[in-house]
Structure 1
């Protein structure tokens, strides 16, 4: 589902949410900002961007509606 806060920090190289958001935006990673001000990044978004091969295991899918 979502990456942990530590995983987002590891991905971006930043601890501060504002810096993480700036990095994610510059690198064109999709995310949403939670009520706590921290970016929420789907694990599948990162894995697909990094070239991971998706397994055939069916998992619940999150659908964001606008």
Structure 2
């Protein structure tokens, strides 16, 4: 069973060592999917045009999961 929640948002609570470009309290929206890393577009590094993108809350647990 996959937990729903494909539209997520939040605020950064803490940062790991060496993280730059982000601050605690920044509002964020995660990507709604993950590239497959196997198709021809992913193979050339064009992840935005993945032919088999895996959508959060459909292919894997979404934002309602712990």
TM-score, with normalisation over the residues of structure 1?
0.20
Structure ID, larger Rg: 2
TM-score, with normalisation over the residues of structure 2?
0.20
**Which protein is richer in helix relative to its size?**
1
**Which protein is richer in strand relative to its size?**
2
Per chain length, whose mean CA-contact separation is higher, i.e. which structure has more relative contact order (CA < 8 Å, sep 6+)? Answer: 2
